[in-house]
A and B are shown apart, each in its own frame.
Chain A
Amino acid sequence: MLMNNLVQYIYGIADNALILGQRLGELCGHGPNLEVDIAMTNITLDLLGQTRSYYQYAADIIGGDATEDTLAFLRSEREYKNVLLVEQPNTDFAYSIGRQFLFDAFHLLLLQQLQYSQDETLAAIAKKSIKEVSYHQRFSSDWIKRLGDGTEESHQRIQNAINDLWTFTDELFYQTDADKAMVSEGIGVDVTLLKPEFHAHVAAVLEEATLQVPDMKYFQKGGKQGIHSEHMGYLLADLQYMQRTFPNMNW
Chain B
Amino acid sequence: MSEQELEAEFERKIANDQKIEPKDWMPEKYRKTHIRQISQHAHSEIVGMLPEGNWITRAPSLRRKVALLAKVQDEAGHGLYLYSACETLGVSREELYDQLHSGEAKYSSIFNYPTVTWADMGAIGWLVDGAAIINQVPLTATSYGPYARAMVRVCKEESFHQRQGFEIMMTLANGTPEQKAMAQDALNRWWWPSLMMLGPTDAESVHTEQSMKWKLKRKTNDELRQQFVDQTVPQAELIGLTIPDPDLKWNEETKRYDFGEMDWDEFWQVVKGHGPCNKVRMDARRNAWSKGEWVRDAAMAYAEKQELKLETAV
Cβ distance B73 to chain A, nearest Cβ, rounded Å: 4
Known: A38-B77, A150-B302, A239-B58. Contact between A44 and B69, CB under 8 A?
yes
SS class, residues of chain B in contact with chain A: helix
Known: A41-B73, A93-B292. Contact between A246 and B302, CB under 8 A?
no
Does A153 interact with chain B (Cβ within 8 Å)? yes
Does A243 interact with chain B (Cβ within 8 Å)? yes
A35: chain B residues at CB < 8 Å are 80
In the complex, the answer to whether B61 meets A69 with C-beta atoms within 8 Å is yes
In the complex, the answer to whether A149 meets B72 with C-beta atoms within 8 Å is no
CB-CB contacts below 8 Å: B269-298 with A: 284, 287-289, 291-298
Contact partner of A32 (CB less than 8 A), chosen from B66, B70, B83, B292, is B292
A239: chain B residues at CB < 8 Å are 57-58
In the complex, the answer to whether A146 meets B298 with C-beta atoms within 8 Å is yes
In the complex, the answer to whether A42 meets B73 with C-beta atoms within 8 Å is yes
In the complex, the answer to whether B49 meets A29 with C-beta atoms within 8 Å is yes
Contact partner of B298 (CB less than 8 A), chosen from A29, A147, A246, is A147
In the complex, the answer to whether A251 meets B171 with C-beta atoms within 8 Å is yes
Cβ distance A52 to chain B, nearest Cβ, rounded Å: 5
Known: A48-B65, A150-B302, A251-B64. Contact between A34 and B57, CB under 8 A?
no
Cβ distance A213 to chain B, nearest Cβ, rounded Å: 20
- Chain A: residues with Cβ within 8 Å of the partner, total of 47
Contact size class for B?
Answer: 35 or more
Contact partner of A34 (CB less than 8 A), chosen from B46, B168, B300, is B46
User: Which of A20-28, A114-122, A172-180, A188-196 interfaces with chain B?
Assistant: A20-28
In the complex, the answer to whether A28 meets B72 with C-beta atoms within 8 Å is yes
Known: A34-B79, A72-B62, A246-B178. Contact between A45 and B302, CB under 8 A?
no
B172: chain A residues at CB < 8 Å are 251
In the complex, the answer to whether A246 meets B179 with C-beta atoms within 8 Å is yes
Cβ distance B16 to chain A, nearest Cβ, rounded Å: 36
B284: chain A residues at CB < 8 Å are 29-30
Contact partner of B60 (CB less than 8 A), chosen from A51, A150, A157, A251, is A251
In the complex, the answer to whether A48 meets B60 with C-beta atoms within 8 Å is no
Known: A150-B297, A154-B295, A157-B294. Contact between A242 and B60, CB under 8 A?
yes
Does A68 interact with chain B (Cβ within 8 Å)? yes
Does A31 interact with chain B (Cβ within 8 Å)? yes
In the complex, the answer to whether B288 meets A32 with C-beta atoms within 8 Å is yes
User: In the bound complex, how far is the Cα of B58 from the Cα of A40, in angstroms?
Assistant: 18
Using a CB–CB cutoff of 8 Å, the interface residues on chain A facing chain B are 22, 25-26, 28-38, 41-42, 44-45, 48-49, 51-52, 55, 68-69, 72-73, 92-93, 145-147, 149-151, 153-154, 157, 238-239, 241-243, 246, 249-251
Using a CB–CB cutoff of 8 Å, the interface residues on chain B facing chain A are 46, 49-50, 53, 56-66, 69-70, 72-73, 76-77, 79-80, 83, 118, 168, 171-172, 175-176, 178-179, 284, 287-289, 291-302, 305
Additional pairs, 12, CB under 8 Å, beyond known A29-B284, A149-B302: A28-B49, A32-B291, A33-B295, A38-B80, A92-B291, A150-B298, A150-B302, A151-B298, A242-B60, A246-B178, A246-B179, A251-B61
Ranked nearest first, the 6 interchain pairs of A and B with the lowest CB-CB distance are A32-B292, A150-B298, A154-B298, A242-B60, A29-B49, A32-B295
